[in-house]
Amino acid sequence: MRDVCIIGVGMNDWGELWDLSLRTIWTQAALAALADAGVDKVDAMTVGCMSGGLFVGQEHLGALLADELGMAGIPATRVESACASGGVALRTGFLEVASGLADVVLVTGVEKMTDCSNDEATAALATAADQEWEVFPGATFPGLYAMMARAHMAAFGTTREQMAMVAVKNHANGIHNPHAQYRRAVTVDEVLNGTMVADPLTVLSCSPITDGAAAVVLSDKETARRLAKGRPLVRIAGVGLATDRMALHNRADLTALNAVTAAAQKAYAMAGVTPEAIQVAEVHDCFTIAEIMIIEALGFVPRGQGGPATAAGETGLGGRIPVNPSGGLKSKGHPVGATGVAQAVEVTLQLRGEAGARQVAGARIGLTQNMGGTGASSVVHVLEVIP
């Protein structure tokens, strides 16, 4: 396979974008990435989107958005894997370039989640869970993650305060991200005393409903060198995708995210690195307990130590392994189809040294981890700076 580099990145400002359509926010991000890459045409395009049909009544996004960009005629594919749709779109674009099928690929993710009622949005998101065994009996994602949190607390002594520290850290990082939905600090007390959603998760333990889009431009290494403009080259060194049983009651252990571990092991092996080599990571903190379980599943900390490591500052800026310097899903927002691509935007900026006040000093190897539902699918990418 050929080496694949990220040569351009772009995002729009995320939030509740009442006056903008799905195609408009997508185009903002796509044009920003193309401008950053210094290209005005691509060989192919992928679109990560979980549920455009349910949120805005629009499917067939590949053709629609290629036309919107003035590129009708190119191969354009919509990719879906629930909340991991953006990450899988990145993997799909990677494979096109690595295989030689294309030299330059525009990878995008988008979701417009506020053009429907809260009940309709909840129902759309619930399609990522097992309809027969979880959704029909009344389970929601906050409820499912609350069960996972309770199991983790019982098995390892994880505390509400440790989970709250995930939100505190990520909001502190998000203050410095101009694209973040919520650029304000929160305290442990605010998280703990917020409106209860599903015990032990309060409203500030949960990622928000968000409108947003993100994009990256991929190319082969030779094209990347030609277009580098003096910037560091960022290569996708490893890719891993895995699945797990969807319904929680079918899993042997509610405290483990097996798809995350399996995807990470594939990505580490492909990149020739170990977890200890990762210097910055963007992970899928859809709920605070999710980040704690993910850093364990990725091998950043031992099983059961995600809570104490967070409370000790190991995952903060300046810590041993900074996690979610962008603000994560918790502060930056979570337009479900765009999240995995936005993670690649952030890590690319970090490896280029362009992340401003949230910059992780000396970062040369980074990781993104994006997952669907309660971890029934997960995709991991390892990114590195190359000479």
- The CATH number given to whatever domain includes residue 370 is 3.40.47.10
Q: Which residues pair with 215 in a beta bridge?
A: 10, 108
Q: Given a cut of 90, is residue 304 above it in pLDDT?
A: yes
Q: How many domains does the chain have?
A: 1
pLDDT score, position 247: 98
Per-residue pLDDT reduced to its tens digit, 211-249: 999 999 999 999 999 999 889 999 999 999 999 999 999
Per-residue pLDDT reduced to its tens digit, 169-193: 999 999 999 999 999 999 999 999 9
Question: The pTM is what?
Answer: 0.98
pLDDT band at 163 (very low <50, low <70, confident <90, very high): very high
Residues catalogued as catalytic: 83, 334
What residues make up the domain containing 105?
A: 1-387
**For residue 325, with 0-12 CB atoms within 10 Å meaning exposed, 13-18 middle and 19 or more buried, which class applies?**
buried
Give the residue from 370, 351, 367, 368 showing the smallest Cα distance to 359.
351
Per-residue pLDDT reduced to its tens digit, 58-109: 999 999 999 999 999 999 999 999 999 999 999 999 999 999 999 999 999 9
pLDDT score, position 229: 84
Rounded Cα distance, 245 and 213, in Å: 29
DSSP string, 70-110: T-TTS-EEEE-BTBTHHHHHHHHHHHHHHHTS-SEEEEEEE
Per-residue pLDDT reduced to its tens digit, 242-298: 999 999 999 999 999 999 999 999 999 999 999 999 999 999 999 999 999 999 999
Share above pLDDT 70 across residues of the chain, in percent, rounded to a whole number: 100
Q: What's the mean per-residue pLDDT of the chain? A: 97
pLDDT score, position 4: 98
